[in-house]
Amino acid sequence: MALLLKTEAGRGDSWRRALLAADPGLDLRQWPEVGDPADIEYALVWFPPKGALKSYPNLKVIFSIGAGVDHLASDPELPKGVPIVRMVEPGLTAGMTEFVLMSVLYHHRFMLDYAEQRRNKVWREIDQVPPWDRRVGIMGLGVLGGDVAEKLVALSFDVAGWSRSPKDLPGVARFHGPGGFIPFLNRSDILVCLLPLTAETTGILDARAFAALPEGAALVSVGRGPHVVEADLLAALETGWLGAATLDVFQTEPLPPESPFWDHPRVVLTPHVASLTIAKTASEFVIDNIRRHQAGRPLLHAVDPDRGY
Amino acid sequence: MALLLKTEAGRGDSWRRALLAADPGLDLRQWPEVGDPADIEYALVWFPPKGALKSYPNLKVIFSIGAGVDHLASDPELPKGVPIVRMVEPGLTAGMTEFVLMSVLYHHRFMLDYAEQRRNKVWREIDQVPPWDRRVGIMGLGVLGGDVAEKLVALSFDVAGWSRSPKDLPGVARFHGPGGFIPFLNRSDILVCLLPLTAETTGILDARAFAALPEGAALVSVGRGPHVVEADLLAALETGWLGAATLDVFQTEPLPPESPFWDHPRVVLTPHVASLTIAKTASEFVIDNIRRHQAGRPLLHAVDPDRGY
């Protein structure tokens, strides 16, 4: 058996080293030097060219390098019936939790307002809100959202979560399905989007959603760009109804130079770096999962084809 | 018995409401309308005028409105033998933990670098460091430092603490006393100062201390301004040996307009707001402590006169 590796540009060598450290006997084929396509039984990929994966007649499992699998699901020629595995590894989870905690705390503590005061050399205290009076809402309660929720509860925030199906998390108020969406938004002073991108969640953060938030709410957008209708987001920021946003993902990436988000004073902007898969811990997850599959045991974190994540 | 209240300007009424909510029968005297000085048995104060507290012949306990008591200890005419109580209340602790976590994460995640890239509309990923490879050092392991350390350990950071006397905290590498200081600094990629201000800790963060940090380290200064020798800090930032700093406290507050920190690109600056005592929960702490004292039980969080905190 051989493992095909297709990473983003410039990352191939660090992945190769990490995979071989996790399994020194691994037959690794780094795309585009694939050798005999019939050898490939597993693939570990990030944005493979559309149609590329159908070239491997013996492909048994596709592993995604990132937490999201929309880069695979959007390929109309993806081989049918081959299981897809989401990336779940401690580095990726830790990174997302760090970024979301930082962003929630940044808005909770009025840091954009302090930055504006600073530009004018104004030394003035802004009345602080205790965490138990700050309502944080998390869209998506999977591995990432669940870990974020747990850490926010430990900091005494008033946390709610919204998910497709009911989920139980200690200390987290739960909302689910279309019927729970507006009541959930109504109590989200700081809204975090960690949903997977599917047909159902594309454009979910639109004018109607922003209008349902409390006045002055903040958005932390770290799922995928197409969750957000950017024109509606901009309009909500312009009126001040939405008070602030941290944006890590965008409709078009890299963000085009003409985007108004680049220098919007109520926006914190980062280049899709909220969480990066760490090759070392991720390679251990992939090798372990390959061994499970070879031993006939169920794959960990396989995608449910009906849900799409 | 009567309680004397002297807050910072503009905060008196919210304290009055909170204290009377905690004890509706309280005889509260709001400075400067004190009435008969002989009635005053307890005082809850923030920066009382020097010598003011010696006017009360029956004063039994002085409560500080903030965590630090240096605003009292610096009064040469402070009545001798009257116990001083530090402020320890859940709002103050939560606020400090929030601010320090946010600041540590901000530097850990290269947010000053991303802000600089953004000004040039550069979309570029910076290699991420997993939290277990990031060494955070906390100076001061009291109520605030201990809570911060616990939360950083929960986020998988490599945490060490330095304190006057040995302290035990799960998952935290411990250093103490003058002999432990340089080894502690040598392993602090991000250094947090949460010390009390005493004669021993004044000027502790000087050129020698900064030189002992790893190259490119970040400082989070949230104790008191005089812990830091500001000229040395500025020099360390100018050479780049110190990579970044979050500064909430300064030698002179409000920070003078001519301070170079106002527009230093490697500095995050806030106006001494890392943590604010929350009147509601603090009033409950004070009333409870008064009742303990009246019942002849030991005061909670009384200052040790020898240590000065």
What is the mean predicted confidence (pLDDT) over B202-230? Answer: 98
pLDDT at residue B233 is higher than 90: yes
Does B173 share its domain with B100?
A: yes
The shortest CB-CB distance from A105 to any of B98, B118, B126 is to: B98
Does A66 share its domain with A163?
A: no
Bridge partners, B267 (sequence order): B245
Does A146 share its domain with A206?
A: yes
The shortest CB-CB distance from B255 to any of A123, A253, A254 is to: A123
Contacting residues of B for A95, CB less than 8 Å apart: 128, 130
Residue B302 lies in a domain: no
Distance CA A40, CA A28 (A): 9
3-class SS at B205? strand
pLDDT tens profile A46-74: 999 999 999 999 999 999 999 999 999 88
Nearest CA in chain A to B97: A155
Structural domain tally of chain A? Answer: 2
pLDDT tens profile B83-106: 999 999 999 999 999 999 999 999
Residue A305 lies in a domain: no
DSSP track, A89-114: -HHHHHHHHHHHHHHHHHHHTTHHHH
Half-sphere exposure of A117 (CA within 13 A, CB side): 16
CA distance A150 to chain B (A): 11
pLDDT tens profile B138-162: 999 999 999 999 999 999 999 999 9
Does B102 share its domain with B84?
A: no
CA distance A98 to chain B (A): 7
For an interface test with A, give the residue of B102, B251, B276 to mutate (most A CBs within 10 A): B102
Residue B303 lies in a domain: no
Distance CA A74, CA B114 (A): 30
Distances (CA, A) of B254 to A121, B188, B205, B245, B250: 10, 29, 20, 18, 8
Backbone φ, ψ for residue A205 (5° rounding)? -95, 85
A251 band by pLDDT with thresholds 50, 70 and 90: very high
Residue A22: both structure tokens together: 């996790």
Does B282 share its domain with B134?
A: no
Contact status of B257 with chain A (Cβ, < 8 Å): yes
Does B80 share its domain with B173?
A: no
**Of residues B138 and B307, which shows the higher confidence score?**
B138
Nearest CA in chain A to B249: A123
Does B99 share its domain with B156?
A: yes
What is the mean predicted confidence (pLDDT) over B239-256? Answer: 98
The shortest CB-CB distance from A255 to any of B123, B126, B269 is to: B123
Mean pLDDT of chain B, nearest integer: 96
Does B289 share its domain with B260?
A: no
Residue B210 lies in a domain: yes
The shortest CB-CB distance from A98 to any of B118, B155, B272 is to: B155
Contacting residues of A for B131, CB less than 8 Å apart: 94, 98
The DSSP letter of residue A241 is S
pTM: 0.93
Contact: B123, A99; criterion CB under 8 Å: no
What is the mean predicted confidence (pLDDT) over B26-55? Answer: 96
Position B237 scores a pLDDT of 98
pLDDT tens profile A6-22: 998 888 999 999 999 99
Does B109 share its domain with B191?
A: yes
Distance CA B241, CA B235 (A): 9
B308 band by pLDDT with thresholds 50, 70 and 90: confident
Contacting residues of B for A66, CB less than 8 Å apart: none
What is the mean predicted confidence (pLDDT) over A233-253? Answer: 98
Contacting residues of A for B273, CB less than 8 Å apart: 109, 114, 125-126, 128
Residue A308 lies in a domain: no
Position A127 scores a pLDDT of 87
Distance CA B79, CA B64 (A): 14
Does A133 share its domain with A254?
A: yes
What is the mean predicted confidence (pLDDT) over B171-194? Answer: 97
Distance CA A34, CA A28 (A): 9
Contact status of A271 with chain B (Cβ, < 8 Å): yes
A294 within 8 A of A60, measured Cβ to Cβ: no
Contact: A262, B118; criterion CB under 8 Å: yes
Sign of the C-alpha dihedral computed for residues A27, A33, A37 and A43 taken in this order: positive
B45 band by pLDDT with thresholds 50, 70 and 90: very high
Sort B239 into a burial class: Cβ within 10 Å, 0-12 / 13-18 / 19+.
Answer: exposed
Distance CA B247, CA B261 (A): 9
Its domain, for residue A221, covers 90-269
Residue B144 lies in a domain: yes
pLDDT at residue B301 is higher than 90: yes
B249 within 8 A of B221, measured Cβ to Cβ: yes
pLDDT at residue A292 is higher than 90: yes
Contact: B124, A271; criterion CB under 8 Å: yes
pLDDT tens profile A78-132: 999 999 999 999 999 999 999 999 999 999 999 999 999 999 999 999 988 999 9
User: Residue A234 CB: number of other CB atoms within 10 A?
Assistant: 17
Could you check whether the bond before residue A32 is cis, i.e. omega within 30 degrees of 0?
Answer: yes
pLDDT tens profile A259-289: 999 999 999 999 999 998 999 999 999 999 9
Residue A300 lies in a domain: no
**In CATH, what number is assigned to the domain containing residue B83?**
3.40.50.720
Angle, CA B8 vertex, CA B3 and CA B13 arms, to 5°: 60
Contact: A128, B254; criterion CB under 8 Å: no
Residue B304 lies in a domain: no
Does A253 share its domain with A183?
A: yes
Element (H, E) at B186: helix B177-186
Q: Which of residues 117-156 of A touch B (CB under 8 A)?
A: 117-118, 121, 123-126, 128, 130-131, 151, 154-156
Could you check whether the bond before residue B254 is cis, i.e. omega within 30 degrees of 0?
Answer: yes
Q: What share of chain B is helix, strand, coil (3-state, %, to 5)?
A: 35, 20, 45
The shortest CB-CB distance from A156 to any of B94, B101, B154 is to: B94
Does A167 share its domain with A78?
A: no
Distance CA A60, CA A81 (A): 9
